[in-house]
Amino acid sequence: MKIRTKSALLKRLAPLRKKNKKIVFTNGCFDLLHVGHIRYLAGAKALGDVLVVGLNSDRSVRALKGVGRPLTPENERAEVLAALEAVDFITLFSEATPEKLIHAVRPDVLVKGGDWKKKDIVGSGFVESCGGRVLSLAYVPGRSTTRLIQKIQTI
C-alpha cells in the first residue's frame, strides 16, 4: 500500500534505509494532476530508490490556495498519485509547510519543481545539514494547475 500515515511510513522506510536505499522526498498539493507533475515526479524518482510524496491535506491546500481549493479531495489526490509508477509512498500533512514531515523522513534528496529557488525550499537547510542534497527540477513552461483552472473558467 502506497498511502500511509506518517508513523506507518517511517516504519516502512527504516528497513529500506538499512539496505542503503536512497530516499527522495517531495511535496505538493497535486490538485488536477498534469504533465508537468508527471515529468517532475518521474525526474524526482530517478534521483534515488524510493520516492516519498508529502501531500497537502485539504485543510492545508485551502490555507495556501484559498476558498474553492482543492478541486479534488485529499483521498482522491492520494489515490491518483498512488497509481503513478514513479511514486512509492504518499503521506498527508496538514501544516502550512512540510517542515515537520521532512525532519521525520530525513530524506537523502529533497526535490521541488523548477518554480522554486533552492534557498526557498522548505527543509533545505535541515536536509543539507544531514548530508543530503536539495534540488529544483526543470519546470514545464505553461503547465500549472492554476493555468488549467483559468482555462476552464474561460470556456
Residues 25-57: pLDDT tens digits? 999 999 888 888 899 999 999 999 999 999 999
The confidence score (pLDDT) of residue 33 equals 86
Domain containing 147 equals: 6-154
Burial 66-75 (b: 16+ CB within 10 A, else e): eeebbbbebe
C-alpha dist (Å) from residue 61 to 26, 64, 66? 16, 5, 7
What does pLDDT average to over the chain? 92
The predicted model scores a pTM of 0.90
Q: For 22, which DSSP code?
A: P
In a domain, 1, yes or no: no
| pLDDT tier, 140 (very low <50, low <70, confident <90, very high otherwise) | low
In a domain, 15, yes or no: yes
C-alpha cell at 4: 500511509
Residue, of 10 and 152, whose pLDDT is higher:
10
Here the CATH number for the domain that contains residue 97 is 3.40.50.620
In a domain, 123, yes or no: yes
| pLDDT tier, 82 (very low <50, low <70, confident <90, very high otherwise) | very high
In a domain, 144, yes or no: yes
Q: Considering its fold, how many domains does the chain have in total?
A: 1
| pLDDT tier, 7 (very low <50, low <70, confident <90, very high otherwise) | very high
Q: Listing from the earlier edge strand, what are the strands of the sheet with 133-136?
A: 89-93, 50-56, 23-28, 109-112, 133-136
C-alpha cell at 110: 529533497
The confidence score (pLDDT) of residue 32 equals 83
Q: At a CB cut-off of 8 Å and minimum separation 6, what does 3 contact?
A: 78, 79, 82, 89, 90, 91
